[in-house]
């Protein structure tokens, strides 16, 4: 049974999403921002009908980390393309499913693959899943992603818990008209990453004896081109410890919605601007997958 009964005349049936004139919901083209609340509500109603109870925690599983969703008990797997107006992932290493069920006794909604600014989406569109799941009742976000290390003391495979970020993606998901029911016009980001959640995760890592676990500042860049040596040097001088092409827009929306946030970046390579080596996407995916076992251990202990 759905966690909130819906009038059969409202929204979609359980089998198929409502018909859309644009199968991508207008997302890839940016969509009309004025219709965004309507599209969010259509997705919310559709998922409300499908899910047996509201999610407590949202897990965003980045490059090479989608297998974490396989740990979910009695999973309800919902392909993104069946959810009204949801974006479509165009990155081959992102499976494109919303997987809901219990993990360590908690109701979770795992995004098995995410969306990126470089795919052509606005940051409002690419964060739509976070907005929808927050409106379904989720109060916590655990966001993961692959990143390039900027701190020379890091090693590939490091799990970096985010304690702050730099946002160099020029678009902000909160730009435009604010909906007060969703959150305040000017949300405070002085503590975007919850200290208590971070300390809990660090404690879990210590108990498990996990190596290569630390903290740092994540910088989000637009992509898809990877960093030059000069850009790497500049980002390091700006105070960043790792660089990636995601995470921050999702965190901004989560904090706007009042969600607590834990961020984990899997450092897949370390960039030394004075001895720069080519950055190969296949290497990034391989290193992220190699770190997935340690990340699984950490997430299971954290969610207990």
User: Could you tell me the residue range of the domain that residue 179 belongs to?
Assistant: 33-303
Q: Is residue 4 situated within a structural domain?
A: no
Q: Is residue 6 situated within a structural domain?
A: no
Mean predicted lDDT score pLDDT of the chain: 87
Residue 144's CATH number: 3.40.50.1580
* C-alpha distances in Å from residue 121, one per residue of 29, 118, 124, 125, 291: 7, 7, 8, 6, 29
The mean per-residue pLDDT over the stretch 130-137 comes to 98
pLDDT at site 90: 73
Between CA 54 and CA 289 the distance in angstroms is 30
Q: Is residue 2 situated within a structural domain?
A: no
pLDDT at site 28: 42
What share of the chain in percent tops pLDDT 90?
Answer: 69
Q: Is residue 24 situated within a structural domain?
A: no
Confidence class for position 290, pLDDT limits 50, 70, 90: confident
Decide if pLDDT at 239 tops 80: yes
Q: Is residue 292 situated within a structural domain?
A: yes
Q: Is residue 84 situated within a structural domain?
A: yes
118 phi/psi in degrees, rounded to 5: -70, -15
Q: Is residue 282 situated within a structural domain?
A: yes
Decide if pLDDT at 286 tops 80: no
Comparing CA positions, the residue from 254, 143, 267 lying closest to residue 191 is 254
Confidence class for position 190, pLDDT limits 50, 70, 90: very high
- Contacts (Cβ under 8 Å, ≥6 apart) of 302: 142, 200, 201, 204, 262
Q: Is residue 19 situated within a structural domain?
A: no
pLDDT at site 27: 39
Q: Residues 66-110: pLDDT tens digits? A: 777 888 999 999 999 999 999 987 765 557 899 999 999 999 999
Maximum distance among all alpha carbons in the chain?
63
The mean per-residue pLDDT over the stretch 138-143 comes to 98
The mean per-residue pLDDT over the stretch 143-153 comes to 93
pLDDT at site 23: 35
* C-alpha distances in Å from residue 304, one per residue of 83, 200, 287, 297, 301: 30, 11, 27, 11, 5
The mean per-residue pLDDT over the stretch 209-233 comes to 95
Decide if pLDDT at 4 tops 60: no
Q: How many domains does the chain have?
A: 1
pTM of this structure: 0.87
Decide if pLDDT at 17 tops 50: no
pLDDT at site 91: 64
- Contacts (Cβ under 8 Å, ≥6 apart) of 229: 273, 274, 276
Confidence class for position 244, pLDDT limits 50, 70, 90: very high
pLDDT top residue among 273 and 220: 220
**Is the Cβ–Cβ distance between 33 and 176 less than 8 Å?**
yes
């Amino acid at each position: 049974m759905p966690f909130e009964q819906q009038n059969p005349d409202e929204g979609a049936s359980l089998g198929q999403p409502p018909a859309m004139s644009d199968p991508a919901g207008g997302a890839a083209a940016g969509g009309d921002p004025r219709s965004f609340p309507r599209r969010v509500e259509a997705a919310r109603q559709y998922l409300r009908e499908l899910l047996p109870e509201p999610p407590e925690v949202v897990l965003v599983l980045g490059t090479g980390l989608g297998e974490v969703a396989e740990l979910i008990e009695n999973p309800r797997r919902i392909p993104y393309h069946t959810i009204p107006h949801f974006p479509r992932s165009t990155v081959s290493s992102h499976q494109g499913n919303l997987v809901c069920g219990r993990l360590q006794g908690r109701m979770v909604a795992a995004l098995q693959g995410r969306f990126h600014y470089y795919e052509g989406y606005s940051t409002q569109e690419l964060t739509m899943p976070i907005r929808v799941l927050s409106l379904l009742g989720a109060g916590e976000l655990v966001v993961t992603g692959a990143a390039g290390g900027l701190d020379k003391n890091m090693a590939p495979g490091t799990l970096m818990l985010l304690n702050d970020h730099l946002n160099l993606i020029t678009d902000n998901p909160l730009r435009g008209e604010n909906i007060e029911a969703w959150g305040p016009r000017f949300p405070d980001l002085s503590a975007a990453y919850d200290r208590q959640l971070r300390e809990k995760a660090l404690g879990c890592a210590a108990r498990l004896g996990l190596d290569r676990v630390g903290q740092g500042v994540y910088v989000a860049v637009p992509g898809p081109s990877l960093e030059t040596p000069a850009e790497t040097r500049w980002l390091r001088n700006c105070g960043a410890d790792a660089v990636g092409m995601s995470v921050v827009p999702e965190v901004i929306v989560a904090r706007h919605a009042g969600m607590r946030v834990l961020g984990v970046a899997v450092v897949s390579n370390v960039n030394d601007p004075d001895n720069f080596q080519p950055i190969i996407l296949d290497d990034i995916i391989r290193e992220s997958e190699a770190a997935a076992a340690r990340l699984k251990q950490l997430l299971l202990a954290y969610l207990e």
